[in-house]
Amino acid sequence: MLNCPSGDVAQAMAAVDELVRLSRLDPEWSWSRAAIMARDWRRLAPVRAYAEMLGIPVEMANESLPSIWRLRETQQFIDALRRDSTCLMGVRDLADVLNAIPSNHWTDLIAEGIAALAKELANKTMPVPDLVEWFAEWANDARSDQRGLLLLTAHRSKGLEFDNVVILNGGWDRPSKGEDPDAPRRLFYVAMTRARRSLAIIAEGNHPFVPQGAEYVLRRAAPPIAAGVARPTALYQVPNLKNVDLSWAGRLRTGHLSLAAISAAKVGDPVHIVRDGPSWIMQDKQGQTLGRMARSWSPPGGLRFLRGEVGAIVRWRKSDNQEEFRVHLHRDVWEAVVPELVFG
């Protein structure tokens, strides 16, 4: 257990520094087998910022990420399969179809789906309708293979295991709204049991679930933050469908310049956010509007916009909207840009 001064930034730095210490002791260390967990997502933002400052590969297992099935890349892949529904296809055929789509981390995820299917299919083929059904079911539960330090909540960690785990302090002393009184203890047990080799628990003084004086707990103070070390200040907003007006492009008339801009946009392209009356819009580097943020969304108070990029592009349909709003839509299918934004 690491005793650490209060504050999300201080414990974030202590957590990452502990894993850095362990990495120097293990010649076979891999960041893809390490995780930092918290009671809620908010406490993980400074962890990501600090890890990126140190050049550590980091990713977040966020529940708010868009459905894989709705992604532009997945729909392009499925559309290509459906061009000949009478065809029988094998793993090599699927790989050829995927390789024709511009690559990014979402196509890498689809490639992992093909690899999973290959274990079942081997050298056999499968009818296209069955392939489409298989990928639809796979997309419901798919999660990308871990490639770096994984940041996640204890709830999200269920069913996963890691060599090295650090659990952040905060929120364990009381149940969340709607939880029974013993829920935090059960969730903390889940987090603890995800570790295979090492487990570090960050605490400020006593921890509600780790008895004081227990012989099986090694307690030590977290190293003080050295003078001159930059503290992480970035706040990340990962792609989240709830943050975007998904029907905005569906309300545009045919020929609108934004439709061409959305079609040309790619994952990773830079975006800016600009106030437009009571709400905010996304613009590409040419200043063309790519979409509108949801009316309920606003930048976090006290922080300024640092940078943004296209996090995902999802396919949306008129049928996804409530019937009373469909009269305002001018097309049956369109794409919506979902950004990743960084504030500081």
Q: What is the pLDDT of residue 321?
A: 85
Q: What is the pLDDT of residue 64?
A: 63
DSSP 293: B
Do 320 and 331 form a contact (C-beta atoms < 8 A)?
A: no
Same fold, 2-61+146-221 and 235-343: no
DSSP 322: -
- Angle 291-294-300 from CA coordinates, rounded to 5°: 105
Q: How is the beta sheet containing 272-276 ordered, strand by strand?
A: 272-276, 279-283, 289-292
Strands 2-3 and 220-221: parallel
Q: What is the pLDDT of residue 299?
A: 92
Q: How many whole angstroms separate alpha carbon 117 and alpha carbon 87?
A: 17
Q: How many whole angstroms separate alpha carbon 218 and alpha carbon 3?
A: 11
Which of 62, 65, 79 shows the shortest CA–CA distance to 135? 79
Give the pLDDT of the chain (344 residues) as one tens digit per residue: 778 766 888 899 999 999 999 999 999 999 999 999 999 888 898 899 899 899 999 988 866 667 889 999 999 999 999 999 999 999 999 999 999 999 998 999 999 999 999 999 989 999 999 999 999 999 887 766 788 999 999 998 988 999 999 999 988 988 888 888 889 999 999 999 999 999 999 988 788 888 776 777 787 777 776 655 666 777 888 888 999 999 999 999 999 999 999 999 999 999 999 999 999 999 999 999 999 999 999 998 888 999 999 999 999 999 988 888 888 898 999 999 999 999 98
Q: What is the pLDDT of residue 65?
A: 67
Q: How many whole angstroms separate alpha carbon 171 and alpha carbon 185?
A: 11
- Find the distance separating the first CA and the last CA of the chain, reported in whole Å: 30
pTM above 0.75, yes or no: yes
Q: How many residues does the chain have?
A: 344
Locate tokens 């055929």: which residue?
93
Would you state the structure tokens that stand for residue 263, as one six-digit string? 């079609």
Helices (H), the chain: 8-25, 45-53, 72-81, 91-99, 105-121, 128-141, 183-192, 257-264
Give the relative orientation of helices 91-99 and 105-121 as an angle to the nearest 10 degrees: 170
Ordered by start, the domain boundaries in the chain are 2-61+146-221, 68-141, 235-343
Out of 3.40.50.1820, 3.30.470.10, 3.40.605.10, 3.40.50.300, select the CATH number for domain 2-61+146-221.
3.40.50.300
Overall fold of domain 235-343:
Alpha-Beta Plaits (3.30.70)
Q: What is the pLDDT of residue 218?
A: 80
